[in-house]
């Protein structure tokens, strides 16, 4: 094996590296700093798959790059929902584990839902990912690569990103933020910060850190209950991170960031879809700069059921005069298990 081949073999994939990392990388190969900036442009803005396409890099530099991996993920397969509006993708990591990402189309809006972990330790009772337990954190590269590969194979431009796939983003805080910053970088993908949403099950310390760090991205918090006792039924995390502390931390975020927080509320039949729940929500969320997003449950063969459309509409009507905006996410990917809370990778099923 030649020395060049050895260098290539030891290199981690380039996707996930920041502008500064790529400058240092170029320098380590005897190039000037600006070569790293050119690489950044090719990888993130132009999203090319081959060093041979990087036409403004000198031939000698490209020769050194050949063999170095760009992508940390391998796309295994995809499934399109009956509605054609949702598509789910399965990726294999270098570790041999699998993750899923979901693409959702709604008019001109094209949203990708990215995973941040394999499995999840939070163990929400209604969630397929939670049933897997925690397996591993994704690197920033593995998170960003989901976006880049999806953008490469679809015709439309991805307009929005939600970190709401497998895993709890705030339990992989550094890598998630690095990935969000890469997607937001003006010289790269250049996605507006208001188009990037980080969704958490409610890791209080990290909500505060997110506010203190001054990240420009939007925050969504999964509430899923109208009070402590009820939230505990489906979200055991409430034992360690109380309902009132979660609301306080969310309010802290809104004050600090001067942004609205979105509360996600998965509607579960007979659990949290009563008129009294709607009334309680109106009361507790009234003082907050927030939006409430209702998500009718997507069933996973467990004990929970999706409320009927009549019950869902009744719940929405009870919130009619709420002093905050209320939206409903009618998921369009349940038939391929791509709805919220349905992502899980039992590899035998997918291969």
Asked if 92 is an active-site residue, the reply is no
Does residue 220 touch ligand SF4 according to CB under 6 A? Answer: no
CA dist., res. 176 & res. 234, Å (int): 25
Does residue 204 touch ligand SF4 according to CB under 6 A? Answer: no
Residue 178: its H or E element: helix 173-184
Bridge partners (DSSP) listed for residue 327: 293
The single residue among 16, 36, 72, 130 that binds ligand SF4, judged by CB under 6 A, is 130
Closer residue to ligand SF4 in complex, CB, 70/344: 344
Does residue 264 touch ligand SF4 according to CB under 6 A? Answer: no
Does residue 114 touch ligand SF4 according to CB under 6 A? Answer: no
Does residue 238 touch ligand SF4 according to CB under 6 A? Answer: no
Closer residue to ligand SF4 in complex, CB, 123/277: 123
How long is the chain? 351
CA dist., res. 96 & res. 73, Å (int): 10
Q: Binding mask 147-186 vs ligand SF4 (x if CB under 6 A, - otherwise)?
A: -------------------xxx------------------
Q: Are 87 and 100 in contact, with CB atoms under 8 Å apart?
A: no
Q: End-to-end alpha-carbon separation of the chain, Å? A: 33
Asked if 124 is an active-site residue, the reply is no
Q: Are 199 and 169 in contact, with CB atoms under 8 Å apart?
A: yes
Q: Which is the catalytic residue, given 23, 100, 142, 264?
A: 100
Residue 35 CB, shortest distance to ligand SF4, in Å, is 40
Number of residues that bind ligand SF4 (CB under 6 A): 12
CA dist., res. 59 & res. 51, Å (int): 10
What's the token pair of residue 93? 């990591």
Closer residue to ligand SF4 in complex, CB, 87/129: 129
Does residue 138 touch ligand SF4 according to CB under 6 A? Answer: no
| Closest C-alpha among 295, 292, 299, 288 to residue 342 | 299
Q: Are 222 and 198 in contact, with CB atoms under 8 Å apart?
A: no
Binding site for ligand SF4 (CB under 6 A): 120, 122-124, 127, 129-130, 166-168, 201, 341
Active site residues: 100, 340
């Amino acid at each position: 094996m030649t020395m060049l081949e050895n260098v290539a073999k030891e290199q981690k994939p380039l996707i996930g590296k920041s502008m500064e990392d790529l400058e240092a990388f170029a320098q380590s190969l005897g190039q000037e700093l600006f070569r790293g900036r050119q690489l950044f442009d090719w990888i993130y803005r132009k999203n090319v798959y081959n060093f041979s396409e990087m036409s403004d890099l000198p031939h000698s530099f490209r020769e050194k790059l050949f063999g170095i991996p760009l992508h940390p993920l391998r796309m295994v397969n995809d499934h399109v929902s009956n509605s054609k509006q949702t598509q789910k993708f399965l990726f294999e990591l270098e570790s041999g584990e699998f993750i899923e990402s979901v693409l959702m189309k709604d008019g001109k809006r094209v949203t990708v839902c990215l995973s941040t972990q394999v499995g999840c330790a939070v163990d929400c009772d209604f969630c397929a990912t939670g049933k897997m337990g925690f397996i591993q954190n994704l690197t920033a590269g593995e998170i960003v690569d989901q976006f880049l590969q999806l953008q490469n194979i679809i015709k439309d431009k991805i307009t929005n990103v939600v970190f709401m796939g497998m895993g709890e983003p705030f339990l992989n805080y550094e890598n998630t933020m690095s990935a969000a910053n890469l997607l937001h970088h003006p010289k790269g993908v250049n996605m507006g910060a208001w188009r990037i949403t980080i969704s958490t099950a409610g890791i209080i310390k990290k909500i505060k850190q997110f506010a203190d760090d001054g990240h420009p991205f939007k925050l969504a918090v999964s509430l899923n209950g109208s009070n402590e006792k009820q939230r505990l039924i489906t979200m055991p995390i409430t034992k360690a991170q109380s309902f009132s502390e979660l609301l306080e931390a969310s309010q802290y975020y809104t004050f600090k960031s001067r942004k609205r927080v979105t509360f996600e509320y998965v509607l579960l039949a007979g659990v949290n879809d009563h008129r009294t729940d709607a009334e309680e929500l109106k009361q507790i969320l009234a003082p907050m700069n927030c939006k409430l997003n209702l998500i009718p449950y997507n069933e996973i063969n467990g004990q929970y059921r999706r409320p009927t459309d009549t019950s869902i509409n009744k719940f929405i009507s009870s919130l009619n005069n709420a002093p905050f905006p209320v939206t409903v996410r009618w998921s369009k990917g349940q038939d391929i298990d791509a709805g919220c809370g349905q992502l899980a990778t039992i590899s035998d099923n997918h291969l």
